[in-house]
Amino acid sequence: MRTFVIGDVHGCLNDLLAILEEINFTVGVDKLISVGDIINRGPNSLETIRFFKQLDSSFDMVLGNHDLHFLAIVHGAKNPTFKDTLTQLLNAKDLDDLVGWLQAKPLVTQIKNYSIVHAGIAPQWDIIKALSLSREVEITLNSENSGHFLNQMYGNVPDSWNENLEGMTRLRVITNYLTRMRLCTNNGELNFTDSDPNLESHRFLPWFKHRIKHKNEKIIFGHWASLNGNFCAPNIHALDVGCVYGGKIRVMNVDNKVLTDYKSAYAQH
């Protein structure tokens, strides 16, 4: 049994199938974990989510901001935007099954020695803390409060974690770190405006530059296509290489750290 983690798929079903063929992925034997953003922006969100779901116990994932955006639309908390490519999925006859399946997914998970998260882990949290905060969101997403949470989820304030945060504000801040973060200060103040990893700033750096205290923790993440999968820091692996933007799709074998890239056949821009 081999264990692979795959970067952002964004509904690019053909690229997904091609790279799984390239690594000779065997359902029922091998395991695939997604860093989230399995849907939206690309051409085949419906078939992509159906494909992942039918992999059953050969598949696991964490939620990305686009997966949460879809759930927010389903719950009437958000309207689709002109950039969304979710119409077919939103009209699917098996929508309820797909939503129930997706909504049960966590924001952080662990496989072997790795933690998998969509965007990143706040500088002030170790993995144990991140897992427990992810659990708070997961419990709410799977309770009768899920619609209320998805309504309150959007917003950039407060921009920093504080242990005393409560209720929906607390869950919003947790979600922002785990699914939207790119740049932050060393005490975790989030920058929601910039996405340039080389931003000339004394304060804001890519989140993984602030994990010196936790440098032995191994993290795999997606979300930040403009990093282009380049080296981040020891033990930190970026897997989003922008397949939906005409880039590549990437999988990492966590047993030997071997990366496989497949050049996307899909170019949106």
Tokens of 51: 């494909």
Q: Cβ neighbours of residue 37 under 8 Å, at least 6 residues apart?
A: 8, 9, 10, 64, 65, 66, 67, 118, 222, 223, 240
Q: Please tell me the total number of residues recorded for the chain in this structure.
A: 269
Q: Calculate helix-pair angle for 95-103, 65-74, nearest 10 degrees.
A: 130
Q: Is 41 in the site for Mn ion (CB under 5 A)?
A: no
Q: Calculate helix-pair angle for 167-180, 127-141, nearest 10 degrees.
A: 120
What secondary structure letter does DSSP report for 77? Answer: S
259: alpha, beta or left? (left if phi > 0; alpha if psi -120 to 50): beta
Q: Considering only 60-68, 93-101, 241-249, 252-260, which stretch makes contact with Mn ion by CB under 5 A?
A: 60-68
- For the bound state, the minimum distance from the C-beta of residue 57 to Mn ion, rounded and expressed in Å, comes to 25
What secondary structure letter does DSSP report for 217? Answer: S
What is the three-class DSSP state of 135? helix
Q: Which is nearer to Mn ion, 64 or 120 (CB)?
A: 64
- For the bound state, the minimum distance from the C-beta of residue 54 to Mn ion, rounded and expressed in Å, comes to 24
Q: Is 37 in the site for Mn ion (CB under 5 A)?
A: yes
Q: Considering only 31-39, 138-146, 159-167, 196-204, which stretch makes contact with Mn ion by CB under 5 A?
A: 31-39
Give the count of residues interacting with Mn ion (CB under 5 A). Answer: 4
Binding residue (CB under 5 A) for Mn ion from 40, 44, 45, 65: 65
Q: Which is nearer to Mn ion, 210 or 223 (CB)?
A: 223
- For the bound state, the minimum distance from the C-beta of residue 223 to Mn ion, rounded and expressed in Å, comes to 4
Q: Which is nearer to Mn ion, 25 or 221 (CB)?
A: 221
Q: Considering only 30-38, 125-133, 152-160, 207-215, which stretch makes contact with Mn ion by CB under 5 A?
A: 30-38
Q: Cβ neighbours of residue 157 under 8 Å, at least 6 residues apart?
A: none
Footprint of Mn ion on residues 210-239 (CB under 5 A)?
Answer: 223
Q: Considering only 61-69, 83-91, 136-144, 188-196, which stretch makes contact with Mn ion by CB under 5 A?
A: 61-69
- For the bound state, the minimum distance from the C-beta of residue 121 to Mn ion, rounded and expressed in Å, comes to 15
> Which parts of this chain interact with Mn ion (CB under 5 A)?
37, 64-65, 223
